[in-house]
Amino acid sequence: MEEQLKIAQQALATANEAKFIANNIWMLVATVLVFIMHLGFATLEAGFVRRKNVVNIIFKNLMIIAIGILSYCFIGFNLMYPGVEGGFIAFAGFGLSNPAGAAGLIDYNNGTYTYFTDFIFQGMFAATCCTIVSGAVAERIKLFPFLIFCLLFVTVSYPITGYWKWGTGWLDTLGFYDFAGSTLVHSVGGWGALAGAILLGSRNGKFTKSGIKPIPGHSMPLATIGVFLLWFGWFGFNGGSVLSADPAAVSLVFVTTTIAAAAGCIGAFLVSKIIYKSMDLSFALNGILGGLVGITASADGVSISSAFLIGFIAGCIIPISVSFFDKIKIDDPVGATSVHLVCGIWGTIAVAIFGQYNEGIGTLTAQLIGIAAIGVFTFIFSFAAFYVLKITVGIRVDLEEEIRGLDIGEHQTMAYS
């Protein structure tokens, strides 16, 4: 009798442990996938800039991940999830003198991953929002002021708006829904990008008296590697946002994410073919990213046919949006504002149209309030930060350096020799 009870209890404990281990593995695999998105951004942006600015953009992307991870560890994480452990400053794990303490934080019967897994997954996310900015301000921004902006952005701005929703703040209470961050990550990055691009002005030679001059990127293979790696990483970005390995939820997210990306590719292709009579590779590439950004807010709660429509529309938006920003003379070398800001807003609105959540979750009103509140906060924060940097240390390299290229100007080296 007692023996039987012991076996049953041991079985239950082991079963709970096995389930916890499986969930935690998935979150760690998702972390690794989100990590490689940083290589995706680096190669995408490097491919889309000119040869003379390649080292500079790569250097920026390296520094962003280093600064992003460390500052999120010191401040951002606890600012975004204040209830977790300790005060506002420093990821509590940072203060633990004995790492074995981490084990003590695990309760196999509750929760699906460890506290350290939580931090590292969120930390990889956080660093991506700066990388989005980096593409839009490429080929003309000074390195140091940009790094200071990044530090402020990932340490203060991103965690505050992130807290509003994912830290169970006021937007969460309101019913605003953003599954994996169409707004919280992508349009946040996009607003920062827009502020930077406005204050910097366009690259020399982009908007001339004789019209808008396309400035083609230096390596399409590099840009393509970037887009595929981003898609690859998005399986972790969206799939990990389930916050467990729940089979129904994660596999649904995989399907909606993939269908939206494929539909985005087709959408951008058709629109660019119809409007511009071209089969432009960069539109097709950005169409995939647009589809991915678009589905990010609702990947866990739409039908497959809705995922198709969300991605397809996002893809159609890309060529139109790129052309729009060109017309209002905002120069964005990689199309980051179109991909992350415009499609991020679209994806967040799409929650209200296609999302199948509980009553009061993701209503159009809640979504529009969330988009507006986070947009206004982030744009003002970014604009102010860039503006102060502009009037103090300056944010733009001089014309001579811009023409010569930032690789020589800032790094005394060249990308290829």
Residues 106-135 that bind its own copies (CB under 8 A): 106, 113-117, 119-120, 123
Q: Which of 208, 356, 365, 392 binds its own copies (CB under 8 A)?
A: 356
Q: Is 414 in the site for its own copies (CB under 8 A)?
A: yes
Q: List residues bridging with 169 in a β-sheet.
A: none
Cα end-to-end distance, the chain, whole Å? 78
Nearer to its own copies, 2 or 391 (CB): 2
**CB count in 10 Å sphere of residue 240:** 30
Told to check if 391 binds its own copies by CB under 8 A, we report: no
The length of the chain in residues reads 417
The phi and psi torsions of 60 (rounded to 5 degrees) equal: -60, -45
d(CA 258, CA 295): 9
| Contact assessment for residue 24 and residue 213, using Cβ atoms and an 8 Å cutoff | no
Gap between the Cα atoms of 189 and 340, Å rounded: 7
9 in contact with its own copies (CB under 8 A): yes
**Contact range with its own copies by CB under 8 A, out of 7-15, 166-174, 186-194, 197-205:** 7-15
Residue 7 binds its own copies (CB under 8 A): yes
CB 137 within 8 A of CB 200: yes
Conformation bin of residue 168: beta by default, left when phi > 0, alpha when psi is -120 to 50: left
Closest distance of CB 73 from its own copies, Å:
6
Min dist CB 191 to its own copies, Å, is 25
| 239-298 positions binding its own copies, by CB under 8 A | 239, 245-252, 254-256, 258-259, 261-263, 265-266, 269, 278-281, 284-285, 288
Positive or negative: CA dihedral 282, 285, 291, 292: negative
Residue closer to its own copies, measured from CB, 71 or 161: 71
- If one counts every other C-beta atom within 10 angstroms of the C-beta of residue 368, the result is 15
Separation of alpha carbons 189 and 160, rounded Å: 14
For residues 145 and 217, which CB has a smaller minimum distance to its own copies in the complex? 217
239 or 375: CB nearest its own copies: 239
Q: Under 8 Å CB-to-CB from 227, ≥6 apart: which residues?
A: 40, 44, 285, 286, 288, 289
Number of residues that bind its own copies (CB under 8 A): 128
CB of 199 to its own copies, least distance (A): 23
**Cβ at position 211, least distance to its own copies in Å:** 17
Backbone angles phi, psi at 240, to 5 degrees: -75, -25
Cross-strand pairs, 396: 141
Please report how close the Cβ of residue 265 comes to its own copies at its closest, in angstroms: 4
Of the candidates 213, 219, 230, which has an alpha carbon nearest to the alpha carbon of residue 286?
230
Of the pair 210, 412, the CB lying nearest its own copies is at 412
Pairwise CA distance, residues 76 & 228, whole Å: 29
Regarding 417 and contact with its own copies (CB under 8 A), the answer is yes
**3-state class of 208 per DSSP?**
strand
Residue 42 is a binding residue for its own copies (CB under 8 A): yes
Q: In the numeric block, which tokens belong to residue 305?
A: 């046919």
What's the closest the beta carbon of residue 350 comes to its own copies, in angstroms? 14
Question: Cβ closer to its own copies: 209 or 359?
Answer: 359
Closest separation in Å from C-beta 198 to its own copies: 26
Nearer Cβ to its own copies (381/402) = 402
Confirm or reject binding of residue 18 to its own copies (CB under 8 A). yes
Nearer to its own copies, 114 or 378 (CB): 114
d(CA 124, CA 387): 28
Q: List binders of its own copies among 136-195 (CB under 8 A).
A: 143
**Site for its own copies, residues 49 to 108, rule: CB under 8 A:** 50-51, 54-55, 58-59, 62-63, 65-67, 69-70, 73, 91, 93-100, 102-103, 105-106
Q: Which is nearest to 56 in space by CA: 71, 68, 45?
A: 45
Instruction: Name the helix (H) or strand (E) containing 212.
Output: strand 211-212
358 interacts with its own copies by CB under 8 A:
no
403 belongs to the binding site for its own copies (CB under 8 A): no
Q: Which stretch binds its own copies (CB under 8 A): 148-156, 169-177, 210-218, 394-402?
A: 210-218
